[in-house]
Structure 1
Amino acid sequence: MTPADLSRCVVRAVRCAVEDGELSGEGAVPQRVVVERTRPGGVGEYATPVAFQIAKSAGRRPAEVADVLARRLAGEPGIERVEITGAGFLNFVLAPASAVRIVGAVRAGRYPLRGLAADVAVSGELRARLVRQAVARIEAVQGLPSLPYIPYIPNIAPVAQRDGDVVARYGAGAAAWAVLAVPARETPAFPATLLLQGEASEFFRVRYAHDRACALVRNAARLGFHPEAGEVDAPALLRVLADHPLVLEAAAHHRAPERLARHLVELADALLDFQYRVLPQGDEKPSAAHRARLALAEAAGTVLAGGLSLLGIDAPTRL
């Protein structure tokens, strides 16, 4: 089960509880449920406040609603453990992510990946324009209001006058990264590392990781093999990839493109650590394990390119 599957599973559990009379039916079934990674020190891997969301319409205390849902969700395949914390938060531990399932979902287009070709025409200051365009793209791939809808986002801090023309100085892509990588209410910073091609630059690392994924596929083809989905022992990379749809949901829900930017950095770092295991070494012959690792790296590259596209930033195949 992926985190996105978990969100749908919780909605289904609410619906079934209503249909079976365990919860009041009037307005109790939400269309979407927010599921997010638990914070450091929290219980489990994922958590949702859905019990608070539906308690009033269900005519029950959040803890009572959480108890009803926990009993139903505990038996779902892919959920290893359900716990209730606080006044009614549901916390989950999931079974390890499946590389076959994730690669298949990316290849089948079930991951919301690409920005739209036509952007929202937004006038005004650079920061406000870029934030609203990014939020509009992220909301559009979530099936929310589509372009030319312009989202309202209050309190967007502009680029400080002291920074001058940041597009001319840093380039359009790096400037967009800098203004989208921090919450809209914060004034963006433009460190010297934006101009560096090295690990100190998050902007470079994200685009370089995509470049490496493309290079791995090209080099594998020269060695005579191609990506083929299979199970892979890569828990860090699989976890970040599994979280991607959930991160996009949260970014749309909170109108916070910085959540996507932070996630892309995490994904890039996981892929850059994983890349050295993909191709055969020395006299090693390509095997099913190499093909499966290549498929996972290719999927990660696809997700990186899609995420950058949603932020309005290109993803070159060769840097």
Structure 2
Amino acid sequence: MTPADLSLTVLHAVRRAVDEGVLRVDVPARVAVERSRTGGTGDYATSVALRLARPSGLEARDVAEILKERLSDSPGISSVDITGSGFLNFTLDGSSQELVHDRVIREIARSGISYGHSELLSGIHVRFAPVTEPRAVLLTETVIRLLRAQGATGDIDGTDGADDSGATDETTDADAAIASTTRATGETTDAAASTATATAPPRPERLPVLPAACLSDVLGVDAARWALLRPAAHDRALDGAALLVQHERNPLFRVRYAHARARRLVDNAAQLGFAPAYESAVDEPRLLALLGDHPAVLLSAARHRAPDRVARHLEAVADAFLAFQHTVLPLGDEKPSAAHRSRLALAEAAGTVLAGGLSLLGISAPDQI
């Protein structure tokens, strides 16, 4: 059972409770399911009971109990627990976890660096206020790219340019960032919405940013962008000089090195006569979970206008991969096996996720460092 499958299962439980008359609410269009956080239990969690509490006239924990009763016997779910004020926590059975991991690795191989892109925000058009401050320009440009990766469209108020949904490979200064931003435009397809917008256009969004210079001429494009995008927009920019040091204390170096290392493992395996193929389960729960969470991270970053969420996620993926990489290739006279091919497939998937995330941030992912 994938997170998407689990979301549908919860949605069906809500609809069943409504049909039975024990829950008097409008059935939501979708239910958000996320990886369980600190304080929770199990593999995944949802706050849908808190969302439905007020319209139902019930306490959130009572709503959670109603839904738990209709979820506990669902295929693929080992247990359902209620924590806090009404969070539902799900533990998947072992076969479901293996199926999730298998589908994640295969989906990454199929989608490439577009893994995690979706149409979940299709039909949403976002207008941003014109900006000239360098960090605000860069943040706006990156947020538009994240929105487009989820099916939304966006532009800068007062601009009219061609579609530019691809990742920016190079930004040399603030003017280049502004140009990149103004090219990222789109149109809504709903004629009624367009008419309403024409008569009463909403006020353009202005992203709150703590100002900082974009020092791409000093640091290079990649380090300059990471220094501004890695912290939350309201936090101070990072020390750019530290991002130029090739050391494990440098998070940008770790992320880019992890990508390069993943590519090197695939090349080394080819020299040994085998290729990636996810044929058996790999006991790397943290890395597998992070790869599975990547689509949710991208969607959250777009919705909350927070590229720093992507950067933090890439750091976590890189760290998990670097701890795992030493087990991928055969040692000594060991012959390549299904386990090696599966571990190599996981390594390749990690490299793909790192490359895709860096691309959305406009940062290069070199094959060699």
Matched, 1:179 2:228: yes
| Corresponding residue to 1:100 among 99, 102, 105 | 102
Instruction: Give the aligned CA root-mean-square deviation in angstroms.
Output: 2.6
| Corresponding residue to 1:277 among 299, 321, 327 | 327
Deviates more, 1:69-78 or 1:127-136: 69-78
Alpha-carbon distance, 1:143 to partner: 2.8
2:18 aligns with 18
Task: Quote the sequence identity (%).
Answer: 49
Task: Indicate how the Cα distance of structure 1 residues 11 and 155 shifts in structure 2: closer, same or farther if over 3 A, else same.
Answer: same
> 1:79 touches 1:92 (CA, 8 Å); kept in 2?
yes
Correspondence 1:42-81 to 2 at 5 A: 42-81=40-79
Alpha-carbon distance, 1:134 to partner: 2.1
Matched, 1:234 2:242: no
Task: From the CA coordinates, give the structure whose radius of gyration is larger.
Answer: 2
Q: In structure 2, how many angstroms separate the alpha carbons of the residues matched to 1:269 and 1:237?
A: 9
Q: CA offsets per residue over residues 7-43 of structure 1, 9 Å max, x none?
A: 34333332343344432353x313342535312x444
Task: Indicate how the Cα distance of structure 1 residues 310 and 4 shifts in structure 2: closer, same or farther if over 3 A, else same.
Answer: farther
Correspondence 1:220-299 to 2 at 5 A: 220-230=269-279, 231-299=281-349
Alpha-carbon distance, 1:275 to partner: 1.0
Alpha-carbon distance, 1:153 to partner: 4.6
- How does the TM-score come out when normalised to structure 1? 0.86
Task: Indicate how the Cα distance of structure 1 residues 34 and 92 shifts in structure 2: closer, same or farther if over 3 A, else same.
Answer: closer
Task: Indicate how the Cα distance of structure 1 residues 182 and 36 shifts in structure 2: closer, same or farther if over 3 A, else same.
Answer: farther
Give unmatched runs, 5+ long, in structure 1.
115-119
> 1:176 touches 1:313 (CA, 8 Å); kept in 2?
yes
> 1:38 touches 1:45 (CA, 8 Å); kept in 2?
no
Query: What amino acid is aligned across from residue 92 of structure 2 in structure 1?
Result: L
1:7 aligns with 7
Task: Indicate how the Cα distance of structure 1 residues 289 and 180 shifts in structure 2: closer, same or farther if over 3 A, else same.
Answer: same
> 1:4 touches 1:246 (CA, 8 Å); kept in 2?
no
1:38 aligns with 37
Give unmatched runs, 5+ long, in structure 2.
119-126, 155-183, 188-203
1:111 aligns with 115
1:193 aligns with 242
Q: Which has the higher contact order (CA 8 A, sep 6+)?
A: 1
Q: In structure 2, how many angstroms separate the alpha carbons of the residues matched to 1:229 and 1:209?
A: 20
Task: Indicate how the Cα distance of structure 1 residues 182 and 212 shifts in structure 2: closer, same or farther if over 3 A, else same.
Answer: same
Q: In structure 1, how many angstroms separate the alpha carbons of the residues matched to 2:290 and 2:108?
A: 13
Deviates more, 1:15-24 or 1:275-284: 15-24
> 1:36 touches 1:250 (CA, 8 Å); kept in 2?
no
Q: In structure 2, how many angstroms separate the alpha carbons of the residues matched to 1:78 and 1:300?
A: 26
Q: In structure 1, how many angstroms separate the alpha carbons of the residues matched to 2:108 and 2:22?
A: 37
Moved over 4 A (4+): 120-123
> 2:135 touches 2:214 (CA, 8 Å); kept in 1?
no
Q: In structure 2, how many angstroms separate the alpha carbons of the residues matched to 1:289 and 1:171?
A: 40
> 1:80 touches 1:93 (CA, 8 Å); kept in 2?
yes
> 1:10 touches 1:33 (CA, 8 Å); kept in 2?
no
1:152 aligns with 205
Alpha-carbon distance, 1:255 to partner: 2.0
Task: Indicate how the Cα distance of structure 1 residues 142 and 23 shifts in structure 2: closer, same or farther if over 3 A, else same.
Answer: farther
Task: Indicate how the Cα distance of structure 1 residues 104 and 174 shifts in structure 2: closer, same or farther if over 3 A, else same.
Answer: same
Task: Indicate how the Cα distance of structure 1 residues 195 and 83 shifts in structure 2: closer, same or farther if over 3 A, else same.
Answer: same
